[in-house]
């Protein structure tokens, strides 16, 4: 069931809320970007996301197909969410960084289902052979 969650960057300049069902699953990836940033995300539709503060504090990083805007706070460097469009996964989305959700208990986080994608080999729907380091 969807629940409204609040999140932020480290310094608090960027704040958001989103209606999300964390029990439907979260994701990690072994691509070069996600592995280096230890990205752990959950996707929502744009209509389920509300930026409360900090549009002016956001900077954008894109690479590869440039289908995702990896947004980060210019002040503290934290990446609380990103925006993108990939037809194969349903079109427009907002990817929340699970670690930036302020109102989730650590025990709840530990129990969340996690799918790991093999982005390093462009086999996004497959689990990589090794994922413990992610």
The model's pTM? 0.90
User: How high is the pLDDT of residue 16?
Assistant: 98
What pLDDT was estimated at residue 115? 92
19: region left, alpha or beta (phi > 0 left; psi from -120 to 50 alpha): beta
Q: Are 102 and 6 in contact (CB under 8 A)?
A: yes
* Structural fold of domain 3-121: 2.170.150
Domain boundaries, the chain: 3-121
Ranges under pLDDT 50 in the chain:
none
The pLDDT score that the predictor gives to residue 130 is 83
* C-alpha–C-alpha distance, residues 111 and 97, integer Å: 16
């Amino acid at each position: 069931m969807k629940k409204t969650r609040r999140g932020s960057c480290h310094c608090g300049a960027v704040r958001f809320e989103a209606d999300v069902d964390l029990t439907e699953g979260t994701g990690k990836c072994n691509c070069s970007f996600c592995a280096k940033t230890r990205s752990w995300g959950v996707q929502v539709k744009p209509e389920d996301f509300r930026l409360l503060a900090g549009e002016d504090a956001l900077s954008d990083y894109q690479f590869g197909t440039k289908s995702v805007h990896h947004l980060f706070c210019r002040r503290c460097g934290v990446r609380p969410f990103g925006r993108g469009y990939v037809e194969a996964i349903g079109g427009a989305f907002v990817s929340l960084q699970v670690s930036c959700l302020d109102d989730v208990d650590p025990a709840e986080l530990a129990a969340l289902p996690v799918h790991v994608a093999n982005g390093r080999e462009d086999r996004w729907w497959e689990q990589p052979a090794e994922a413990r380091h992610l």
